[in-house]
A = this chain, B = another copy of it.
């Protein structure tokens, strides 16, 4: 039996690669050489999942790999282009980021409520300035995105005493943890009551730009907006306007329309805006976890078993069962 060819988009060595020894021929490609290697690949691992190279190389000429895995939750850097190849299955990293991102969002929520950044700025100036801060318990949060990451965020906020409204693509009732999951069409009505608005939706044509001037206009003056989804969910200029006019109290962005955020971006200096470099899910050992998850799926693929975490290319995410 011939070893299948695993094409890895990334020139660095993969963690845990010893598990494939004798089972696959591993070929590395960079963004430029990807297109020429694609016809020989049985499996494509998009290890550099922040690259747009796969989109650009697809469909190109010759046969395409039957399985493409991205070690990310979002598949917006593969779709809609890969939907043109119905024989190619896409899988993602569903699950790995749930708890890390939930912790990150809970931490941001508490840090914003307790004004930690204000304390740290005062510390720089050696200034002792007591302030009264907000309680998180008893507040309301809206989490936009009802996949496993959104659910983990909602659960963690509820554990802190926050009343959580979870918003997904379509409304459903009888959810064991959240009762009702609201549909996207209910979002406008929910924004006005929320102290915390968290975006963790998949990026689709429907969700692109959903946080715009109209959305910020519905929020309370005391509201905080947190984006751990994709930069393109937000009309960044509208958020800047909402913050500088104090339409809302603050925001934290971990994702941006352009990444890395350029040093001359005006976003760095917007008052009330906290910036972090797309790291909410990336805890120590995450690359090992992502590699293990892919390799577990490789075991299934090799054995002819159904793959886990198969993306619905029409929806743009792995549907909940």
Contacts and interface: CB of A to CB of B under 8 A. Distances in A.
Interface of A: 99-100, 103-104, 106-108, 110-111, 113-114, 116-117, 119-120, 122-123, 126-137, 156, 159-161, 259-261, 263-265, 268, 274-279, 282-286
A50 to B, nearest CB: 10
B103 A111 contact: no
A135 B104 CA distance: 9
Contact of A268 (B100, B123, B277): B123
B134 A283 contact: yes
Contact of A133 (B117, B131, B135, B283): B283
A128 B260 contact: yes
A113 B107 contact: yes
Nearest to A128: B260
The 9 closest A-B pairs by CB, nearest first: A107-B110, A128-B260, A159-B159, A119-B276, A126-B263, A126-B268, A128-B277, A135-B283, A123-B275
Contact of A282 (B130, B284, B286): B130
Nearest to A269: B126
A127 to B, nearest CB: 7
Given A106-B160, A263-B126, A283-B135, A275 B114 contact: no
A120 B122 contact: no
10 contacts: A100-B135, A103-B136, A104-B114, A116-B116, A122-B277, A129-B277, A131-B279, A132-B285, A132-B286, A135-B284
